[in-house]
């Protein structure tokens, strides 16, 4: 199981890194195209709009997950069992 999780984590991290690089490159291409069409560069506006969108999406994810946990009455002070502590790799 540990090997599977390691491989999956490596794969997902690699894909997330590639996605971040590609999106930044695409925004830079949009900046160049915008300069050709309008005659002025607006990379600050476009990159800040991208970062604002990322923060909004991240905040919505936290809001939705927190609301879902509150909706199902998830216990706030629950203690982990011994088997859970052992399987997660933490020491007693």
Quickly list H helices, 1-81.
Answer: 2-38, 43-71
Within a domain: 44: yes
Within-domain flag for 42 = yes
Read off the pLDDT of residues 27-84 as tens digits, 9 standing for 90 and up. 999 999 999 999 998 999 999 999 999 999 999 999 999 999 999 998 888 776 666 6
Q: Residue 43 belongs to what domain range? A: 1-55
The pLDDT of residue 2: 86
Residue 45 lies in a domain: yes
Q: Which residues contact 28 (CB under 8 A, 6 or more apart)?
A: 43
User: Residue 69: what pLDDT?
Assistant: 93
């Amino acid at each position: 199981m540990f090997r599977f999780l390691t491989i999956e984590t490596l794969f997902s991290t690699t894909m997330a890194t590639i996605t971040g690089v590609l999106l930044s490159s695409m925004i830079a291409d949009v900046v160049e195209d915008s300069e050709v069409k309008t005659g002025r560069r607006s990379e600050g506006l476009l990159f800040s709009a991208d970062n604002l969108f990322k923060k909004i999406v991240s905040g919505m994810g936290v809001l939705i997950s927190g609301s879902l946990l509150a909706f199902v009455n998830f216990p706030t002070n629950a203690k982990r069992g011994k088997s859970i502590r052992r399987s997660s790799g933490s020491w007693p």
